[in-house]
Amino acid sequence: MSDIVCLIPGDGIGPEVTSATRRVIEAAGVDIEWALLPAGTTALEFCGSVLPERTLAAIQGHGVALKGPLTTPIGGGHVSVNVTLRKRLNLFAAVRPVRNLPGIRTRFENVDLVIIRENTEGLYSGIEHEITDGVVGSLKVATAKASSRIGRFAFDYAVSRRRGKVTVFHKANILKMSDGLFLRCVRQEYAKDRDRLAYDELIIDNGCMQLVTDPSRFDVLLLENLYGDIISDLAAGLVGGLGVVPGANIGTSCAVFEPVHGSAPDIARKGIANPLACIMSGVMMLNHLGRTQAADRIRQAYDTVLADGDPANLTPDIGGRGTTESFTDAIIRALP
């Protein structure tokens, strides 16, 4: 039976990397019916909204989406569509696996982390106001409900994936109330898994130093919203950049899969965007849908192309001289 998956091409390089992902999934023989849906600045032009209600309704109805990046204007303009989407669909957990890939040489070996980011509150609550001319405030929201929920999610995830340890990065020495509440709730959840997992906490500045000194000492990282956003990009830099890190946003009734990277306007429509992060997000989606064999075959295919390392296949961000298309074609040819 075919699954219906919402496909949101998004902005910038989004249409290029999502169509590459669709090609690979179809070449692997997976029977998916794609519901093409608008969102982002592209949608604003012809739908009058950056997040049309029909897009939200379709994701809610079908339960699964593959999404390209959506541009967020800096310092003004519309609120982040990504943040709104995660809040409206209650996609409370972002899951971002970060690992060394064959053939991509970086400063480190044995990096195999999973970043779990709280997706609905913190400074991303978007509550900002001008107190008086030249003085503004931004509210960091922490609730016991969301903190316990993400803690439970992280520990369940770690146990089910046979991971050994969860580490929380926080700043509860300064943000005593908000990060303090987050930590207390997470510790309460950990108490239920004490026998099955190791757990530790690091103040985030120390955590950053440790992460760039020896990332192999980390396993699952659990962070509130803003820290999770920043550490995701930092961790991507440890394994080859934003072109190779996938992501999933998981809620109670639906899941949206998307690469960690943004819309990369500097390389949009040049045909050189790395499609791998989006293809890897597609693999996470196939696993979520129970299409594990196809997911394994696609993973084997891109591992083969990367290990082979032919620069004619790979995109420039990972040392190649190929294009989005040449990389996608090579992965399709390598499908076992």
Query: Interface residues with ligand ATP (CB under 6 A)?
Result: 13, 17, 69, 71-72, 242-243, 261-264, 266-267, 273-274, 277, 317
106 CB-near residues (< 8 Å, 6+ apart): 100, 238, 239, 240
* Nearest CB to ligand ATP, comparing residues 3 and 233: 233
192 among known catalytic residues: no
| Nearest residue to ligand ATP on Cβ basis | 262
Residue 299 tokens, joined: 């993973």
Of 244 and 295, nearer to ligand ATP (C-beta) is 244
The residue with tokens 């064999």 is 293
Which one of the listed residues 11, 179, 193, 229 is annotated catalytic?
A: 229
Q: Among residues 31, 156, 200, 205, which one is catalytic?
A: 205
Q: Is 190 a catalytic residue?
A: no
Q: Is 229 a catalytic residue?
A: yes
How far apart CA 276 and CA 274 sit, in angstroms, is 6
CB of 320 to ligand ATP, least distance (A): 11
Residue 175 or 234 with smaller CB distance to ligand ATP:
234
Nearer to ligand ATP by Cβ, of 70 and 158: the residue is 70
> Taking each helix axis from N to C terminus, what angle separates 324-333 and 276-288, rounded to the nearest 10 degrees?
40
Residue in this structure with the two tokens 């949101």, named with its chain if needed: 8
User: How far is the C-alpha of 152 from the C-alpha of 116, rounded, in Å?
Assistant: 11
Catalytic (active site) residue 171: yes
For residue 89, give the nearest of 68, 59, 118, 116 by alpha carbon. Answer: 59
Q: Which of 11, 171, 190, 193 is catalytic?
A: 171
CB of 83 to ligand ATP, least distance (A): 11
Within 13 A of 173's CA, how many CA atoms are on the CB side? 7
Active site residues: 124, 171, 205, 229
